[in-house]
Amino acid sequence: MDISDVIQTAINSNQEPPEYILPSTRNQIEHNKTTIHKLKIDINNLMTQYKDKKNQLERTEEENFNLNSLFAPYRKLPPEIIAKILCNTIPSSLDTWPSPSIDDWFKTYKNLTQINQKWSKVATTSPETFSELDLDIKPSESEKATKLLKLWITKTQYKLHLTIRIGHPLKVRLLIGPLYDTLNNCTKLHTLTLDTINFHVNSHISTLSDTNLPSLQKLTIREHSTEFELHPIISTNAPLKAPKLQDIHLQVFNLKAIHKDNLSKVQRLTLSSNNFRPNTYFEILRECLQLTHCTIDMRNEMVIAQMSKKSKSVQLLKLEHLTITTHKELPPLLDIIHSPNLRVLEIKVAIHALSAKIESIIPFINKMESLEQIIISGHAILDSRNDFELGLKKKTNTHWEETSNRETHRITYCGDSETETNSEYYEGASGPEEIEEEEENDDDYIL
């Protein structure tokens, strides 16, 4: 029997191997060690070759992918389309609730400035991408908000539309002062919206009046209140240093927050308030000598009741477009306002203004020779259409917009939250039961 067969037989048995096969066994073991070592070296070499080949494959695939990208359709997108794509990455308080945080805006800034060179250039040169900034500031974030505003201003190439939301009581000068200082001498700020709570408007305007705003054209101030008590009218602030300011929207309790020097240059004015003093409206309007467009939304029925047709006339000689929203009944404003150049009169009847009589404005219309168009919108207004048109002495272009009982023009304030209709109408109820409950609680909110 061959020695290799004897060794194999000994391996397969549990007996002690014969002495004569041990030298051959030791020689075979040493030979196998040498073979194993060589095989490991060969495998290592093959693994190295494999990795090299794999890396080569990946580099070739990546190169081919990049070469194919030269034919990709997105490379042919015009800057206008790229700008629209980038704009869709910008957070919006209209699309999300709660409002985008300061950190969300920092992330957006990074996304817009750290993409490929072409797209980054579009982001920094397009008038849309860095034109909007909505800061919802919490007490601990004023410093971060100031830093973000500085970054945004450096990237804004054209007009900046800035919204500052402050839903918490803040020490205005201490925490918000640096933010307003950032706006000092800013030539890019076009519109500014201040969204505040609980009668802090004067503090903000007072702080803002120390800031030079050379390019500001539109100012909107909205005030939310959770306090159901009568606050005194605070003395008027110093005038804002905004020589181009022509459009002011006030949705506040204290309508005197804006200085008369600013009002004298305003061309567009919106007044929406629960102010308890009817003369306040007239005092403001009398200062607006350049006014061409005016919107008045009176929410306090006591003010309307106190208005007298014998009040001193308000001369608005340049007024061309007047919009009045009524919530209870039509205020006697039209008997007080003297506007010989008025061309468009718009009356909006809120869903709950069941006592509003459209026919009451006929005497005003008949004496307005310049009036070219009348727009009447609201719920259940078509019942008055025939009597209204029969009362007109001259043919006037009248447009009627009947809205359903699920639509409203209101801005509803409930605690710290807000549901605002920035468009013409807001579908605020899902059925008759909700509508009835909404109508019953119309007096339970205050601006």
Last residue of a domain, one of 21, 38, 71: 71
Same domain, 140 and 282: yes
What pLDDT does 396 receive? 81
Tell me how far apart the alpha carbons of residues 327 and 347 are, in angstroms, rounded to a whole number.
11
Q: What is the DSSP letter of 356?
A: -
Query: Does a structural domain hold residue 352?
Result: yes
Query: Does a structural domain hold residue 363?
Result: yes
Domain count, the chain: 2
Tell me how far apart the alpha carbons of residues 339 and 368 are, in angstroms, rounded to a whole number.
8
Q: What is the mean pLDDT of the chain?
A: 77
Range of the domain at 357: 77-440
Same domain, 126 and 171: yes
Same domain, 11 and 130: no
Same domain, 189 and 235: yes
Same domain, 52 and 156: no
pLDDT tens-digit map of 132-143? 888 888 777 888
Query: Does a structural domain hold residue 291?
Result: yes
Last residue of a domain, one of 71, 95, 123: 71
Same domain, 376 and 321: yes
Tell me how far apart the alpha carbons of residues 29 and 22 are, in angstroms, rounded to a whole number.
10
Q: Which residue has the higher pLDDT, 208 or 124?
A: 208
Same domain, 58 and 168: no
Same domain, 228 and 354: yes
Query: Does a structural domain hold residue 446?
Result: no
Four-point Cα dihedral 127, 249, 294, 253, nearest 10: 170
Q: At 392, give phi and psi (nearest 5°).
A: -75, 135
pLDDT tens-digit map of 407-438? 443 333 323 333 333 333 233 333 333 333 33
Cis status, amide bond into 278, omega within 30 of 0: no
What pLDDT does 411 receive? 34
Query: Does a structural domain hold residue 112?
Result: yes
Tell me how far apart the alpha carbons of residues 64 and 101 are, in angstroms, rounded to a whole number.
41
Same domain, 152 and 167: yes
> What is the percent of the chain with per-residue pLDDT over 70, rounded to a whole number?
76
Same domain, 323 and 185: yes
Same domain, 61 and 160: no
The contacts of residue 181 (CB under 8 Å, 6+ apart) are 211
Last residue of a domain, one of 71, 98, 113: 71
Query: Does a structural domain hold residue 33?
Result: yes
Query: Does a structural domain hold residue 447?
Result: no
Q: What's the token pair of residue 90?
A: 């910008």
The confidence band for 298, taking pLDDT boundaries of 50, 70 and 90, is confident
Three-state DSSP class for residue 315: strand
Same domain, 270 and 368: yes
Most confident of 83-97, 255-269, 301-315, 400-414: 255-269
Min mean pLDDT across 231-240, 288-297, 330-339, 402-411 is at 402-411
Query: Does a structural domain hold residue 445?
Result: no
pLDDT tens-digit map of 260-270? 888 899 999 99
